[in-house]
Structure 1
């Protein structure tokens, strides 16, 4: 009993420390953003006169409305396509087990080992030859391909654990492969689908490297990619830069807070099945 209490106390202390380590940078950004424009705050100190107008100034200076529109278009181009293709491929690998699926699956696993930096140079020339440089398609199409390995593995991990009896019962009732996929397996895969969608949204919204290399116009980048241009203009104005950074991070934090229950449910379901 005493050992269990010690373990519980230790776990709580570690969680509190981890929470403080995680939250401290956001607190520092928020407090710094409230200091007078052009100052250099030392440490984490609450200003005597908080400058809430810094957020409005950063919103206007960074042209946030245009960036929100651009990021939303990129997300709408990447996330639905990646989820659909990843789900169909994951179903083929995890449940249908098509001929040669082990070797094909190995290729997707190898795809997870490819860093963005390693393929950036050939990707740049390929996008250039396609005439897509400085367009949103230069971000959308590569991200769909780069997200496929993870999306396929994520959905395969779900479908491989679905009982065969469900498919056999549907086959007896005369269901085709498409009906089996759409009416039987997709509905029970909603937790995995929602968590995959959240992850892809976060990664797409925060995509920085591809945005600054393949797109020159800040208005056609993701919000994270446009932060580089914003930093170049206001790199010496630390409070305004912190305010802009918080505004860029706000959508991802809001989405995660709204859908965190679905995300945790999918993770717990996967751990139980595994």
Structure 2
């Protein structure tokens, strides 16, 4: 009994330690954002006169309202379409592709091994040839392709664990593959779709490299990409830069906190079935 009690306390202690290590950078960023403008905060120290107006100033200087609208447009152009395509492809690979043609699935798995940075140069020239440079499509279209291997892999992992009896029952009732997909499989995949949507939202919202390389106008970038221009202009003002970074991170943190149960449920579902 004593050993069980000790293990419980050791486990709780490790969790608290990991939480502290995770929150430490955010705490440092928060205290730096409250420091007087033009100063260089060192370490984690609560300022004597917190400058809360740094957040208002950062919002106005970086024109974060317009950046947020641009990020939402890009997210709405990427996430719904990626989820729909990945769901259909995952269902097809799990239920419709014959056993002898599983190499099709390996094509998507190989896509997971592709280093993102290695294709940025040819991607730039391809986008330029299409005449899409400095447009939001220069971000949306590549992200759809880059997210597809993981998204298909994620959805296939769900559909392949759905009992085959459900498919046979739907077919006996006269449902074709299309009706089975929309009316039987998709309702069962709600948690997987929700968690995939959260991941794609976070990755798209925090996308930095593509907007910097392919879009020159900060108003057409994601918020994280716009931070690059903000950093170049106001990089010497550490409190202002810290405040802007926290504002940009806030939506992703809020989204994750709201939907964390669905996200964890999907992970646990895969672990139990895996």
Give distance in 1, aligned partners of 2:115 and 2:73. 25
For 2:39, what is the secondary structure of its paired residue?
Answer: coil
User: Any unmatched runs of 5+ in structure 1?
Assistant: none
Provide the TM-score with structure 2 as the length reference: 0.98
Shift of the alpha carbon at 1:45?
0.8
Give distance in 2, aligned partners of 1:19 and 1:190. 29
Give distance in 2, aligned partners of 1:72 and 1:270. 29
Give distance in 1, aligned partners of 2:91 and 2:100. 14
In the alignment, which residue of structure 1 is the partner of 2:35? 35
In the alignment, which residue of structure 2 is the partner of 1:190? 190
Provide the TM-score with structure 1 as the length reference: 0.98
8 Å CA contact 1:90–1:152 kept in 2: the answer is yes
In the alignment, which residue of structure 2 is the partner of 1:148? 148
Shift of the alpha carbon at 1:3?
2.7
In the alignment, which residue of structure 2 is the partner of 1:231? 231
Give distance in 1, aligned partners of 2:98 and 2:90. 11
- Asked if 1:12 is matched to 2:12, the reply is yes
Q: 1:1-274, aligned counterparts within 5 Å?
A: 1-98=1-98, 101-274=101-274
Give distance in 2, aligned partners of 1:184 and 1:70. 36
Shift of the alpha carbon at 1:23?
0.4
Shift of the alpha carbon at 1:100?
5.6
Cα RMSD between the aligned structures? 1.0
8 Å CA contact 1:93–1:101 kept in 2: the answer is no
Give distance in 1, aligned partners of 2:140 and 2:98. 29
For 1:114, what is the secondary structure of its paired residue?
Answer: coil
The size of the alignment, in residue pairs, is 274
Deviation per CA, 1:83-128: give whole Å up to 9, x if none: 0000000001112224764111111000000111011111111001
Shift of the alpha carbon at 1:6?
2.4
Deviation per CA, 1:170-196: give whole Å up to 9, x if none: 111100110000000000100000000
Deviation per CA, 1:132-157: give whole Å up to 9, x if none: 00100000000000000000000000
Q: Aligned pair in 2 of structure 1 residues 98, 136: CA closer, same or farther (>3 Å)?
A: farther
User: Any unmatched runs of 5+ in structure 2?
Assistant: none
Shift of the alpha carbon at 1:10?
1.6
Q: Aligned pair in 2 of structure 1 residues 98, 137: CA closer, same or farther (>3 Å)?
A: farther
Q: Aligned pair in 2 of structure 1 residues 87, 230: CA closer, same or farther (>3 Å)?
A: same
Shift of the alpha carbon at 1:5?
2.2
